[in-house]
Structure formats: C-alpha cells, structure tokens
Structure 1
Amino acid sequence: MSVHTNRESLLAALTPWRKSQKIGFVPTMGALHQGHVSLVNRALQENDCVVVSIFVNPTQFNNTEDLERYPRTLESDIALLNSLHNNIFVYAPEASELYGNTVEATNYNFQGLEHEMEGKHRKGHFNGVGTILNLLFTIIEPDRAYFGEKDFQQLQIVKKLVEIENLPVAIVGVPIVREESGLALSSRNQRLSAAQKEEAVLISETLRRVKERFSSHSISELNRFVKETFDKNDTLVLEYFEIANEKTLKTAVKKQKNEKYRAFIAVFAGEIRLIDNMALN
C-alpha cells in the first residue's frame, strides 16, 4: 500500500496498472468504518487495485460548523486500509491540490434529482459532490467506482454525473452496512454519546416498521406513523421522512403498480445529523 498527497505521485504509481489491469475507486471523507471496508473489499474483488481517496470536501458542506467538526482520523484510516490489502493506493490531497486557489463548486443540472430530500435541506450540497467527484474521476480515471446505498440519493446523482460528463466509469452501489442494533454505519456515529447512539436505533427500527406496513397502509398513514413515533422521543428530532420513487426520487403521494419505492429519513441527535433509507417493495 502507498499513500499519495499529490496527483503526480499517484499517477506515477498507477501507470503500470493501466496497461492491462482494472482500477477500482472508493471516494471517502475519511473517519473510515466497516461500511467503507465493505466498499473497498467489493472493489478489491472486482479490480486489480483500488484507489481510496480521503478528503473532507468543503464545497459539499452548507454548515461551516459541521465541516469543522467532521471527524478527521487520517492516521488510523491509513492503518485500517493497510490491514486490508497491498494493492491499495491512498490519495489524501489538500484542497488546493484539487481546487487550486478558488475552492468553489460547479453548478450542475441533475434533472431534478438534486432538489429532492437532501437537496431541500442542504442547498448546494450536490453541486459540491458533483464537483469533487468529477475532479477525482478525471485524475484517477478508474474503471469502476463504489458508493454505499446509505447515501442512496447521492448514488443516483453520481450516476447522472457520469452521464452528464460522459465519463468512462461504471458506478457500483453497495448495500448499507449496519451495526447489530440496526443503526446504519456512519462516520458521524463517532460523535454520538452512548445515550444518543442507543436512541438512534429508533431510526432503522422505524424504517423496518414502515417496510412491514407498506403493503397494507397508505403513504399518508405511514407518514403520520413516523411523525408520531418521533414526536414521542425526547432525544431525536425528525428533519424529514419521505417515501419516494426509487428511480426519480420524487415524493410519492399514492402507490403506483410496477414502481419501486424507498423510504428516506433524516434525524438530528442533538447537533448530529443522521440519515438512512430502506427499500420498501
């Protein structure tokens, strides 16, 4: 395994692999956990080597305090990746290495995907995501790139980004990894107190109950059920819950035949924002 902080060093290391071997890519913001490990392991299974980027991208944060508090654990991240496989290249650049002197996002038209759910509550977030991924895809030129389904809306937007920019990379979605309790793994979980973490299990439990009731209850009934569930909880604050069409991400009002639906949720535990989702049918 090798660690690179500039593109010249990384590209030199990747040159021998480009001739006849496949390169996988796992973009991360660090604070790695077993969810990231599942992405890297999948990439190692399907490619000859894997690039893992570690970069806390400022242009996708619309909250300065959230950016400052985002966990940065580069040393332990590198140790974890080193334990997985030799054929891993870590790319951990500074912002100036990627953005130059002007750290700003490109405005994208993701054909409406960016205006749903997260887009309603985090203005400009997906422009930042699209900008950094386009930069990284252009530098690394991977054959495949891997994204967790916990950020399902992001996964759909990345697929659209590849289409817009005509990038020769296959986007692979990897199922959510959960703790035994059901809580979706997230770097933000590191900031939860023991009490908050225990209460946060309600997020996945509620999604599971919605899935159980999906065939027998209307969407409005399920929306009311979720609201009432979190109204009763003193620790967690529901930011949004939506049942949406899995392809278009449009909020569903009534169920339609032959359409796939997914439940999306965002919850605050104190100042810590947690998201999750679950396929319903």
Structure 2
Amino acid sequence: MTALGFFAAGTISHSSVSAKSRVRVTSNSALKTAGSSRNVTFTGSNALYNKAATLKGARKVASTSTLRSIANSGRSSQNVRAYRVAKTNRGLVYYKVVTFDGQHRGWIYGGRSKTSFRGGLKAYSTFKQGTVSSDMQNGTYKLANPGTGTATYVKPAWTQYKVGKKAADTSAYADSVYKIDEAGTRTKEGDQWVHIYAYEGNAGANGWILASQLKAADSSSSSNNGNNSQPTTDKIADNALRINFVDAATGAPVKSMDYIKNGGTKGSTLGTLTNGVWQLGTNDQTALQTQMNAR
C-alpha cells in the first residue's frame, strides 16, 4: 500500500508540472496609440505566423526571407502597421501586423515589452517631413494634368494605413490655383510630395500630391507640332533638376518635369561618375521612374 501511495503522488506531481509548462496567451488587446506610432518594418530575424509562434498549431505564413524582401521594398504599399499585441505566460510578446496592401497579415515575435518593438519588428517612419523652400512658399501652382491620373491624398499615398485619396478625379479643379504649405519625401520611394491648398478657386482637392504633378500657375502653353504640353519655362528651384522630354523623331519638345532632390543645393551634382558612366543611386532611380510613370 505504501508503494502504491508513493506512485500515485508522483503521477499527480508530473501532471501538474506539464500543465504549468504549457504555453498560453495571458493577454490579447488592440493597440490604441496613434497609427503613425505603430508603423513598423520587419527586421528579418523572425517569421510571420497565423498565431503566436510558440502556441500549439502555429503555422508559418511568411518566411524571414519574404519579410526581408518586404522591408527592402521600394513601394510604400508594402509599409507595415501593428494593430494588436499579445503576451504569453512565458513573458513573450507577439504583435499582429498587416502590410498596407493587405497581402501579408499575421503574428510576429516582438520581444518582451508591450511598449516597444523588438525581435522581428522595429519602428519605422513611412514619410520624412521636409522644409518648404522659399521658392515653394512664394510660388503659385496648378495641376499639370488634372483628371483621374492626378489624384490628391489625405496623406501622401500609402504612408498611413487605410488613409486614402482626397480627390480621385481632379478634372473639376483644373482652374484652381494652389500654394504649398508642407513638403516631404516618402521613405521607400524617395519621391517628393507637397501639401497644397487653394489660393484661388475650388478647394475640394486640397491635400497631398506628388510635386511633379504640379506646374507653375503662370506657366504658358501653346501649340507646337500638335502638342499642347510645353517644357516649363518658370524658375527652377535650387534643389531641382529639370528634365525636358522631346519627340525622338522630330526633336520637338513634349513636356517637362522637375525632379526635386531633398537636401540638394544649387550647383551640386545628382549621381556619381564612374569609369565614364554617370550613375544614379537606387532611391533617385526609383523616384524618377515613379514621376515619369505618373506623367
């Protein structure tokens, strides 16, 4: 009887230890701080799971390689927002995140504190606020090509989660004259965005827009070989490079665009000359391509 009693006690003790060691979630709540403070990027050290990785049944939904690609992407649509936080009985913290385009969503290890991002995440600024130059402040502007291809936004496109367009079709604002009161660059693309407000005319499109989608309000345009779009003849900002497009067959001017280099100064060069070949940095290449595509 004594031996049986000893065996039974040992069995109860073993079950108790197993129950205590089982991983479980002790808290799971929505993050309530300002959205911009919850913009994050992946460090590539941890994968994304359908639930906290240490829980039974956890399944990987995105590898560390995939997350590194997202972090290094040149598209703001792949910015990331954290929106829930959970903690396990072992003190591990997990965040639920989603890419702005909604293509990737899941839980990722975030360290041991619910007040800072660690582990597989780090805080990230999707937009870098810049300064408005005196040329911008003193200038007046119109939309270069009003219509569905020239939208204005509540915030620069894809820099805040689910914050979209102010005016999707700007056809009705073709005659409005605008001034600029804010400027900055999207972190991933490196392109310049400005905030405009109506100085004259309809204010319905007030918002953020690509700087390249504006033209000086006093710039003139006239017909030339059937083309109504002329290279801009207004003053070039000290931190801008003007690119004039011409018809390859006739040499006739087609249109112009000013590429604004944040932090650039008058007389400085854009890119580097290596072995007789002029090369642009990756951010400048991406930003220029984005502006050209927008035109």
TM-score (norm 1): 0.23
If each structure's helix is expressed as a fraction of its own residues, which one has the higher value?
1
If each structure's strand is expressed as a fraction of its own residues, which one has the higher value?
2
RCO comparison, higher one (Cα < 8 Å, 6+): 1
Larger Cα-atom Rg: 2
TM-score (norm 2): 0.23
